[in-house]
Amino acid sequence: MKSELVKVYSSRNIIDAGMVKAMLYDNGIEVMELNKIDSSYQNFGEFELYCPQSQILEALHLINNK
């Protein structure tokens, strides 16, 4: 049974989101990304990161202490 994914981070800056994704991945947290930035108008939407519910506390701790 797959674990439910929970959004742990979102940003309009794709570079910041990529750095957070790499940090989580380096610390053994499974990360899924979802790019909701509009392809025509780059100033709408956000880049979101999700992790399994079982790893949410560790992920949020890492993000808040980066």
Per-residue pLDDT tens for 20-66?
A: 999 999 999 999 999 887 666 666 788 999 999 999 999 999 999 97
- Paired residues of 48 in beta bridges: 10, 34
3-state secondary structure of 26: helix
CATH 3.30.420.40 fits 5-64, yes or no: no
Query: Where do the domains of the chain lie?
Result: 5-64
pLDDT at 1: 39
Quote the distance between the C-alpha of residue 28 and its chain's center: 14
Q: Kindly report whether the global pTM for this prediction surpasses the value 0.85.
A: no
